[in-house]
Every structure is written in C-alpha cells, then in structure tokens.
Structure 1
C-alpha cells in the first residue's frame, strides 16, 4: 500500500517538474510507517527547486497537500505522505532537534516546563521524538498556525 502511494506521488511530481521545466531526482521511501517522497535538487543547479519550497516552506506545504490528493485519487486510500523538496524539511528537522536538545537542557537545569516558539507539525513531531528519547515529556498546545510544544520534566 505505501509503495503504491509513493509511486502515485512520484508520478504526480514528475509531471509537475516537467510542466514547470525543473530538474530534480525523486526518491521514494518509507519512514515511520508513512510513504515519503523527496525531490532532490540537481547538483548543477542546487537552488533550482527553491520555487517549489517558497518562503518558509509555504509552497512546499501546498504541494504536499496536492500530492497527497493525487496519491489518494490513484490509490483510493487516505494519504499521509510526507514530501520534502531540496532538503528543506530535513534541514528543519535538524534545527528542531537542536531546539529540543536546548529545551531538554533548560528543563533539566530548572526543573520547570519550557514553552517553545510556534512551529509546523513536522517540526513539532521532531521535537516530541527528541524529547521522548531524552526521557522527558512534551505536548503540543495552541491552535494552528501558532501551535507550539511545551517540554515538561519527566
């Protein structure tokens, strides 16, 4: 099922790249029980895909939803596909892991909860995973687009 979802997403994205006259390689994989697709920038033009990311990842978020709809239409199943373009989300996940490590240190030093700045869902997930791995608790609070993570002592 996840393979079919990834293949459907890749087909959709290949057509999009052709229409937009953009170069990129498509990598399909399964991560944490979800189909994931990454569009990798051409080494000759590493910034060529930035138009598909947009400021703050806004275009990427929209493309992810469109790609999910295309995969759903082809497979008949609800899609939870993750899309990354030019390493944008991976870079943000790395940043989120650093934010989580800092928050864990502050919580351990003070013994008090720490509220983080609002961030998108995929970054919050990275923070929750890092906090859990460190043996502390975390929860998301607030309403989109201002949803944030609170890190609590164990």
Structure 2
C-alpha cells in the first residue's frame, strides 16, 4: 500500500466515523420528528372526526415531544378536561407506538389544560406546605400521573421541602415532608 493509499484509507475511516456520529444524532432528531408528525396527524384526524377546529403546535424539550392544541373559539373545552386530556395523550402515545414500534413519552396539552393543572398543583403544594408549617409531620396529596408528580416534586423542592411518591398504580400519590 502506498503512502497515498494509506492516507486515503485513514481519511475514509475518519469520514465514516464522523458520519456515524452525525447519522446517529440525525437519527434521534428524525425519530423525534417522526413521533411528532405521527402524533400531530393522529390528533388532527381526531379533531376532524369531532368536527372541531384547532391549531397544533409541536415543541421538543429535552428529547420529549410536546403537542399543544389550541383554538380561538373555546370549542376545545369539551376535550380539555384533565381526565380527557390524559386519555387522549395515552391514545396518541399508542398510535405513535403502533407506527414506530417505540414507546412514546409525548405530552399533550389541549386548550391550555396543562397550564391550568400546573396552577392547581401549585395550590395543592402551597396548602400542603402550610399544613406542615402549622405542625403536621406530613401532607399527602391526591393520586396523580407520573408527569404531575414530577411537577409536584419540583414545586416542593423549590419551597425547600421534601416529597416522595407512595402507593401503587392509580393510587400513587405524593407525600410532602419537611
């Protein structure tokens, strides 16, 4: 092998190694984009079936797809109840998984329901902290989803308190302590 052949082979190996890393990063971005597109198509079809208008916004945060469905006329109120949003989120995740073969961790917001729930969770945390400051050793919050419990843990930590999830399945809830 000549010096030129050796240099060419090393260049090819370097280019291939670089392409592999780039291809892997691009693959993750493509997977997230595919997940978002599949989820948006699913929600769009659902809105069409329900004869509802809505704008779908897609955002990616920390590798997780966030889908927001909004409207100006308030017609989405019927779909923005917490239990309904949770059910729609699970159905959308299943549709994505059926298409991609991969588990989806997407978050769905309909008509600002996530912001409204975050405000409600903040009130629950404030009340729990007040009970502890008044002398209670612990304050248990009602059962909620893992996403909501994560929000609660963050809110509790911001206030300088400690929290843990307890229970199983639908009864899993957060307990706040000092």
TM-score of Structure 1 vs Structure 2, range by shorter chain: 0.7 to 0.9
Q: Give unpaired runs (5+ residues) of structure 1.
A: none
Query: Partner of 2:147 in structure 1?
Result: 122
Q: CA deviation at 1:58?
A: 2.6
Match of 2:170, SS state, is coil
Query: Partner of 1:27 in structure 2?
Result: 57
Larger Rg: 2
Query: Partner of 1:51 in structure 2?
Result: 78
Using the size of structure 1 for normalisation, the TM-score is 0.83
Hey, what's the Cα distance between the residues in 1 that align with 2:88 and 2:139?
33
Match of 1:35, SS state, is strand
RMSD, aligned α-carbons: 2.1
Query: Partner of 1:75 in structure 2?
Result: 100
Deviations 1:13-32 (A, max 9, x none): 11111122100110111235
Using the size of structure 2 for normalisation, the TM-score is 0.73
Residue 31 of structure 2 corresponds to residue 10 of structure 1: no
Q: Give unpaired runs (5+ residues) of structure 2.
A: 1-30
Q: CA deviation at 1:89?
A: 2.3
Match of 2:59, SS state, is strand
Change (3 A) 1:131 1:71: same
Aligned residues: 148
Match of 2:117 among 92, 98, 109: 92
Hey, what's the Cα distance between the residues in 2 that align with 1:102 and 1:135?
14
Hey, what's the Cα distance between the residues in 2 that align with 1:134 and 1:32?
24
Q: CA deviation at 1:133?
A: 2.2
Hey, what's the Cα distance between the residues in 2 that align with 1:20 and 1:77?
28
Whether the 8 Å CA contact 2:80–2:112 is kept in 1: the answer is no
Hey, what's the Cα distance between the residues in 1 that align with 2:118 and 2:32?
22
